[in-house]
Amino acid sequence: MTEPATTATPPSLSAKLLGGLLAVAGLLAIALLFASIVAHPDVRAGFDASLGDARPSWVLAILDRFGLLVPALVLGLGGVTVRLGTQVARRHAGAIRLTRDVSLWAALFAGVITISRALQGTPWVNAGGDSVATGLAGGVLAAGALTVFTVILRVALARLASDPTLPTEPLPAREMRSAWNLLLPALLILVMVAARPLEATVVTSLTDKRFASDQVPNFVGFANYRDLLTVKLDTLECRRDDAGACEVGRDGQTRWETLPVDTLREGYRSAYVINLPLVMPNDRAVSVTALDAKWVRSIWVTIVFTVLSVSGELLLGLFIAMTVHSSFRGRGAMRAVMLIPWAIPTVVSARLWELMLKDTSAGVLNSALLNLNLIDRPLAWLTTASLQLPSVIMIDVWKTAPFMALLILAGLQTIPKELYESAKVDGATPVREFFAITLPLLRPAIGVALIFRTLDALRVFDLFQVLLGRAQQSMSTYNFDVLINDQQAGYASAIGVLIFLLIFAFALMYVRVLGVNRE
Amino acid sequence: MTGKQIKHVLQRTGFYVLVLIVAAYALIPFVWAISTSLKSESELFGSARLIPQNPSFDNYVNVLTSASFMGSLGNSVIVAGGSAILALTAGSFAAYALGRLRFRGKQTMLYAVLAMTMFPQISVLSGMYENVRNLGIFGTQAAMLYAYPLFTLPFAAWVLTSFFRGLPREIEEAAVVDGATTAQIFARILLPLTVPALVTTGLLTFIVSWNEYVFALAFTLTNPSAQTVPVAVAQFAGIVEQQEPIAEIMAAAIVVTVPLVVLVLIFQRRIAAGLTAGSVKG
């Protein structure tokens, strides 16, 4: 093996020099990380004895400002860079090729940072609000220098890798290297936009942090979760009138006794009073009280919404899919029409239905129902408590049933036609055909569509936020309300974590049902 | 006509009535919005009729000359377009690896990407808000560009993976025999074959970003000039302050919806295929 060229011809950067540069860059990144943590004013304040009791916890300051993920990532990548540097210096073929591939991303990334830094403060990204951008010119310069450095690195490594004296690499190793190299940008982006915010949310959920506050929060342990999850069940008796029978209010509902004073004093508030007619005597009811009754109500509202809207969508979707599946003139146009409710932004369709559901003369649904003599006066769909949830469910079904139909249609198209032909020969009725052939063979498609839609419905935000505001809240709009309006970032984060765990459990189920092993 | 023929005609008629009902179900709210957007404010308080008495485009003129609404339209184009390009770029690389290459850890990555497509945005809102503030981009379009890959990237990667898988493997093998590198195979052979898939996926991610509301609402609270259209439509106040300008809201709604509807009508076959690939086929 010859020494890398050290003559004055262009490919003159030696492997040793490049490897050394890489190692220094890795060490520099780690050093910068430590310097910025140690120099951070909030972390320093944690060690400042003169602050006395006002001294914030430096552990929380680090967790709140930096988290663990990004430092760990910098440490890991810095370490890998140092190691790769030493390997490149020894002309290790795999290391040279890997570093060459990865340096392209590094150069691109540095370039994007430079451009976005340079754009900051221009009309395109008018930094309004409480933006904390500082050191603009310095940032552009540093990122620009990094870009130049990585581009040079990339060019030099490409020269080094094209050296014909390097050993060739076997195909599986090459595939492996390309695969992870191609996944790298997506992984890094997902770490930044998913893992890092999730980490910040989990950290915040253990504190009493206020929304948009720059103070180092206090550690409160699981207090937020305890407040969210404490639920108490009591039985209540009905109020008796003089004759000893249960009192019935004007609305036809039984009146129940008030909650015990002690329960109220401990902070419990009533979420629901439920009487189950078949399993309980008429004069008893279960009272569900919780430290956060609004949260418990939002869970119940979300569950009712999910169950009813998803089953409505399934039935209607099945009907639409069966209709569109048969061959007729204009089938293509029909399928396009079905996509329209899906394509309309949910916020827009919410406002559209808001108009159609009005109880003034502009409300078309009310005037249609009046004309058909189904109602005798206009109904205030969105302001009457008992009609709010049905209205939202109706709108969601309208928007999503065609989408469900598309998923089912894809399943219908996989059923072989011969099955129906032989069923016809055997003299099966269409109804029997449906239950004996169509439905069983559609089961996988329906199963997947159901879980997919359930996950969507559990996350519902737009419809509730636009149409009902604070009148009735889904889990998501309650979370938003607590975070933005009540400014309780710590508590809201705990809600967010609970929602995440719930959705994650469902997502695992979905992934298992679907299976990804289809090589 | 024999009894059989009559029965056939009746069946056929009944069937087309069904089809009409389905079409009306999907279209009527949209048609109603168009009709409302052509009415004057005073006509709105008369009876609810489908055909406007004096159709006029005044509401559209008002909406399209409103600086704040046009600003939000521009913001949405930047945010949705940028998100689509970003998701397509990073997503197509990842999808090529996941759909075509053999490597250790692939199964785990596939599971991770699929699970990520269902990530609940609301749960990371508080953390995302902090990150966006620390980056100094709160209240800007850049905040949305930063946050949207959370849902566009896994979605694009997943849909593209299923498209990449559908391509015959022989093409690649022939290229490998001819001595092409992975980069050459990707750029010269697979990419041209997947242009339709890229167009579809780009369109889908564009629509999803265009319609996004949670982040857009939270990140533009203090700076209305960075609002995207869903936020603008949700908070549309119009020129007359006292009353809710229903007709103008509907005109605004039609303006932001028509581009999507046109795209959907042109690419309906592809969009339907992409949607089902993203959620049904593995």
pLDDT score of A128: 42
Question: Would you say the C-alpha torsion A406, A408, A409, A413 has a positive or negative sign?
Answer: positive
Contact assessment for residue B257 and residue A339, using Cβ atoms and an 8 Å cutoff:
no
Judgement on whether residues B11 and B110 belong to the same structural domain of the protein? no
Q: CA dist B166 to A394, B160, B191, B282, Å?
A: 38, 10, 13, 11
Mark yes or no for CB contact B29/A349 under 8 Å: yes
Helix (H) or strand (E) run with residue B179 in it: none
pLDDT score of A7: 36
Torsion of CA A363, A365, A370, A373, to 10 degrees: 180
Quote the domain boundaries for residue B150.
67-237
Percent of chain A with pLDDT over 90: 31
Residue A281 sits at the vertex; the CA angle it makes with A276 and A287, to the nearest 5 degrees, is 50
| Residue B144 clears pLDDT 60, i.e. is over it | yes
Question: Would you say the C-alpha torsion A456, A459, A462, A464 has a positive or negative sign?
Answer: positive
Question: Chain-wide mean pLDDT for chain B?
Answer: 84
Considering only CB atoms, B29 lies closest to which of A176, A320, A398, namely A398
Considering only CB atoms, A347 lies closest to which of B128, B133, B234, namely B234
Pairing state between β A269-274 and A284-290 = antiparallel
Give the position of tokens 């004309």: A371
Residue B144, in any domain of the structure: yes
Mean of the pLDDT values across residues B47-53? 74
pLDDT score of A2: 44
| Residue A3 clears pLDDT 60, i.e. is over it | no
Summarize pLDDT for A18-65 with one digit per residue, the tens.
Answer: 899 999 999 999 999 999 898 888 888 888 878 777 788 888 888 888
CA distance B20 to chain A (A): 9
Considering only CB atoms, A340 lies closest to which of B26, B86, B154, namely B26
Q: CA dist B126 to A212, A330, A415, Å?
A: 9, 48, 46
Compute the distance between CA of residue A168 and CA of residue A502 in angstroms, rounded to an integer: 49
Judgement on whether residues B9 and B131 belong to the same structural domain of the protein? no
Mark yes or no for CB contact B124/A176 under 8 Å: no
Question: Would you say the C-alpha torsion A161, A174, A98, B149 has a positive or negative sign?
Answer: positive
CA distance A4 to chain B (A): 24
pLDDT score of B242: 54
Considering only CB atoms, B253 lies closest to which of A352, A514, A518, namely A352
Compute the distance between CA of residue A125 and CA of residue B143 in angstroms, rounded to an integer: 9
pLDDT score of B133: 85
Compute the distance between CA of residue B156 and CA of residue B275 in angstroms, rounded to an integer: 11
Lowest mean pLDDT among A46-60, A261-275, B165-179: B165-179
In a mutagenesis test of the B interface, which of A104, A180, A183, A326 is the best target, namely the one with the most B β-carbons within 10 Å? A183
A317 to chain B: which residues are within 8 Å by CB? none
Contacts of A508 (CB under 8 A, 6+ apart): B115
- Chain B residue with the nearest C-alpha to that of A173: B103
Considering only CB atoms, B150 lies closest to which of A194, A362, A518, namely A194
pTM: 0.87
Q: CA dist A472 to A351, A465, A467, Å?
A: 17, 9, 9
Torsion of CA B191, B195, B196, B202, to 10 degrees: 110
Compute the distance between CA of residue A48 and CA of residue A291 in angstroms, rounded to an integer: 38
| Residue A248 clears pLDDT 90, i.e. is over it | no
Contacts of A192 (CB under 8 A, 6+ apart): none
Helix (H) or strand (E) run with residue A104 in it: helix A93-119
Summarize pLDDT for B53-86 with one digit per residue, the tens.
Answer: 778 888 898 888 888 889 999 999 999 999 999 9
Strand extents, DSSP E, A420-510 = none
Residue B273, in any domain of the structure: no
| Residue B46 clears pLDDT 90, i.e. is over it | no
Residue A416 sits at the vertex; the CA angle it makes with A412 and A420, to the nearest 5 degrees, is 90
Contact assessment for residue B204 and residue B270, using Cβ atoms and an 8 Å cutoff:
no
B222 to chain A: which residues are within 8 Å by CB? 128-130
Q: Residue B2: pLDDT band by 50, 70, 90 thresholds?
A: confident
Taking Cα atoms as reference points, which of A408, A415, A412 lies closest to residue A448? A408
User: Which DSSP string do the residues of A386-404 spell out, in sequence order?
Assistant: HHHHHHHHHHHHHHHHHHH
A-B C-beta contacts closer than 8 Å: 354
For the sheet with A284-290, list strands across it. Answer: A231-237, A284-290, A269-274
Summarize pLDDT for A499-518 with one digit per residue, the tens.
Answer: 999 998 888 877 777 665 44
Considering only CB atoms, B222 lies closest to which of A129, A185, A506, namely A129
Mark yes or no for CB contact B120/A326 under 8 Å: no
ipTM score assigned to the predicted complex = 0.88
Taking Cα atoms as reference points, which of B14, B39, B27, B3 lies closest to residue B249? B39
Fill in the amino acid letter for B153. Answer: L
Mark yes or no for CB contact A116/B142 under 8 Å: yes
Q: Residue B279: pLDDT band by 50, 70, 90 thresholds?
A: low
pLDDT score of B47: 65
Mark yes or no for CB contact A182/B141 under 8 Å: no
| Residue A315 clears pLDDT 90, i.e. is over it | yes
Mean of the pLDDT values across residues A444-448? 81
Taking Cα atoms as reference points, which of B273, B252, B256 lies closest to residue B76? B256
B261 to chain A: which residues are within 8 Å by CB? 340, 343-344
Q: Residue A8: pLDDT band by 50, 70, 90 thresholds?
A: very low
| Residue A490 clears pLDDT 90, i.e. is over it | yes
- Chain A residue with the nearest C-alpha to that of B28: A341
Mean of the pLDDT values across residues A252-260? 80
Judgement on whether residues B229 and B90 belong to the same structural domain of the protein? yes
Judgement on whether residues B22 and B75 belong to the same structural domain of the protein? no
User: Which DSSP string do the residues of B101-130 spell out, in sequence order?
Assistant: ---TTHHHHHHHHHHHTT--GGGGHHHHHH
Judgement on whether residues B188 and B101 belong to the same structural domain of the protein? yes
A111 to chain B: which residues are within 8 Å by CB? none
Mean of the pLDDT values across residues A212-219? 84
Considering only CB atoms, A356 lies closest to which of B32, B96, B226, namely B32
Mean of the pLDDT values across residues A248-260? 79
pLDDT score of B32: 87
Judgement on whether residues B23 and B135 belong to the same structural domain of the protein? no
Judgement on whether residues B107 and B141 belong to the same structural domain of the protein? yes
Instruction: List the alpha helices (DSSP H) in chain B.
Output: 3-37, 41-44, 58-64, 67-100, 106-116, 125-134, 141-147, 149-166, 170-177, 182-184, 191-193, 195-211, 214-219, 229-234, 246-266, 268-279
Mark yes or no for CB contact B137/A65 under 8 Å: no
pLDDT score of A79: 95
Q: Is A305 exposed, middle or buried (0-12, 13-18, 19+ CB in 10 A)?
A: buried
Mark yes or no for CB contact A212/B129 under 8 Å: yes
CA distance A311 to chain B (A): 18
A367 to chain B: which residues are within 8 Å by CB? 47-48
Summarize pLDDT for A130-177 with one digit per residue, the tens.
Answer: 334 444 566 788 888 889 989 998 998 888 888 877 788 787 888 888
Contacts of A482 (CB under 8 A, 6+ apart): A488, A491, A492, A495
Judgement on whether residues B116 and B219 belong to the same structural domain of the protein? yes
- Residue A67 gets the label, from left (phi > 0), alpha (psi -120 to 50) or beta, of left
Judgement on whether residues B32 and B113 belong to the same structural domain of the protein? no
B232 touching A (Cβ < 8 Å): no
| Residue A5 clears pLDDT 70, i.e. is over it | no
pLDDT score of A27: 94
pLDDT score of A121: 59
Mark yes or no for CB contact B226/A194 under 8 Å: no
Contact assessment for residue A28 and residue A79, using Cβ atoms and an 8 Å cutoff:
no
Note which residues in 95-134 of chain B have CB less than 8 A from chain A: 96-98, 101-107, 109-111, 114-116, 118-131, 133-134
**N-to-C CA span, chain B:** 51
Instruction: Assign A286 to helix, strand or coil.
Output: strand
A487 C-beta neighbours (distance < 10 Å), count: 14
Taking Cα atoms as reference points, which of A334, A320, A354 lies closest to residue A449? A320
CA distance B2 to chain A (A): 22
Mean of the pLDDT values across residues A461-478? 93
Contact assessment for residue A282 and residue A246, using Cβ atoms and an 8 Å cutoff:
yes
Summarize pLDDT for A391-406 with one digit per residue, the tens.
Answer: 999 999 999 998 888 8
In a mutagenesis test of the B interface, which of A37, A208, A355, A485 is the best target, namely the one with the most B β-carbons within 10 Å? A355
Fill in the amino acid letter for A500. Answer: F
pLDDT score of A174: 83
A181 C-beta neighbours (distance < 10 Å), count: 20
Q: CA dist B191 to A29, B74, B97, B184, Å?
A: 36, 30, 13, 10
Count of the separate structural domains present in chain B: 2
Q: CA dist A111 to A108, A138, A142, A143, A144, Å?
A: 5, 15, 11, 7, 7
Judgement on whether residues B160 and B87 belong to the same structural domain of the protein? yes
Residue B278, in any domain of the structure: no
The CATH number of whichever domain residue B81 belongs to comes to 1.10.3720.10
Fill in the amino acid letter for A470. Answer: R
Judgement on whether residues B181 and B232 belong to the same structural domain of the protein? yes
Judgement on whether residues B148 and B24 belong to the same structural domain of the protein? no
Mark yes or no for CB contact B127/A493 under 8 Å: yes
Mark yes or no for CB contact B137/A361 under 8 Å: no
In a mutagenesis test of the B interface, which of A40, A329, A483, A516 is the best target, namely the one with the most B β-carbons within 10 Å? A516
| Residue B104 clears pLDDT 60, i.e. is over it | yes
Considering only CB atoms, A462 lies closest to which of B123, B130, B213, namely B213
Note which residues in 22-81 of chain B have CB less than 8 A from chain A: 22-23, 25-27, 29-30, 32-33, 36, 44-48, 78
Residue B216, in any domain of the structure: yes
Mean of the pLDDT values across residues B18-46? 83
pLDDT score of A287: 87
Contact assessment for residue A447 and residue A485, using Cβ atoms and an 8 Å cutoff:
no
Count CA atoms within 13 Å of residue B17 on its CB side.
Answer: 6
Summarize pLDDT for B196-254 with one digit per residue, the tens.
Answer: 888 888 988 999 999 999 999 999 988 888 999 999 988 876 554 556 778 888 898 89
Fill in the amino acid letter for B170. Answer: E
Residue A54 DSSP label: G
Question: Chain-wide mean pLDDT for chain A?
Answer: 84
Lowest mean pLDDT among A255-264, A291-300, A380-389, B77-86: A255-264
Mean of the pLDDT values across residues A281-290? 83
Compute the distance between CA of residue A282 and CA of residue A256 in angstroms, rounded to an integer: 11
Compute the distance between CA of residue B3 and CA of residue A271 in angstroms, rounded to an integer: 63
Compute the distance between CA of residue B60 and CA of residue B157 in angstroms, rounded to an integer: 38
Domains and their CATH numbers in chain A: 15-126+134-205 (no CATH), 231-290 (no CATH), 295-514 (1.10.3720.10)
Residue B157, in any domain of the structure: yes
B114 to chain A: which residues are within 8 Å by CB? 510-511, 514, 516
Pairing state between β A231-237 and A284-290 = antiparallel
Note which residues in 146-165 of chain B have CB less than 8 A from chain A: 146-147, 149-150, 153-154, 157, 165
